[in-house]
């Protein structure tokens, strides 16, 4: 009887946690979404959101090198679809400037870990981690950014 009760409590906790996460928009898809490849390709050509749910945003990005970024609550998953770049994570931001309560930019990173990202690579960047598209070996890079908001 104790085992049955323990399993019931565990199951109820899992259901409540899942429902709570979905209702508060903590990076859980709100519903099944299908985005056809033609629509994804059109967004990739100009850059922008493919999907926007509370706590979960999927972007198709095309970009050049740029400023260092730092986000208080945004966790990234980048999936490279074309191009090649030097990408740096971690380290110390040089000349950081707060652009909003949740975000900072900087001119460079000292230290950190350097990656050479190419088509097919996937990289995860936790919130509160400086990251920088330092230089591109191709004119631009194309990638999907899965952004998950945390508290």
18 vs 51 pLDDT, higher one: 51
d(CA 4, CA 48) in angstroms, rounded, equals 49
Q: Can you name the CATH fold of 33-149?
A: Jelly Rolls (2.60.120)
Considering only CA atoms, which of 83, 74, 89 is closest in space to residue 123? 89
Whole-structure pTM value:
0.80
Tens digit of pLDDT for each residue in 33-91?
899 999 999 999 889 999 998 889 999 998 989 999 999 999 999 999 999 999 999 99
Residue 136 has φ and ψ, to the nearest 5°, of -110, 135
Would you list the domain boundaries of the chain?
A: 1-30, 33-149
pLDDT (mean) for 11-25: 41
d(CA 64, CA 12) in angstroms, rounded, equals 48
Tens digit of pLDDT for each residue in 101-151?
999 999 999 999 999 999 999 999 999 999 999 999 998 999 999 999 988
């Amino acid at each position: 009887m104790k085992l049955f009760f323990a399993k019931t409590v565990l199951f109820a906790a899992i259901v409540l946690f899942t429902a709570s996460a979905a209702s508060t928009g903590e990076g859980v898809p709100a519903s099944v979404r299908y985005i056809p490849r033609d629509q994804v390709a059109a967004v990739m050509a100009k850059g922008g959101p493919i999907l926007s749910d509370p706590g979960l945003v999927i972007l198709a990005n095309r970009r050049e090198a740029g400023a260092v970024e730092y986000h208080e609550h945004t966790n990234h998953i980048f999936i490279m679809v074309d191009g090649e770049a030097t990408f740096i994570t971690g380290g110390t931001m040089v000349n950081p400037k707060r652009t909003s309560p949740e975000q900072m930019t900087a001119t460079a990173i000292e230290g950190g870990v350097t990656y050479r990202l190419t088509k097919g690579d996937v990289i995860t960047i936790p919130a509160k981690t400086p990251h920088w598209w330092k230089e591109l070996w191709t004119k631009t890079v194309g990638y999907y950014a899965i952004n998950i908001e945390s508290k």
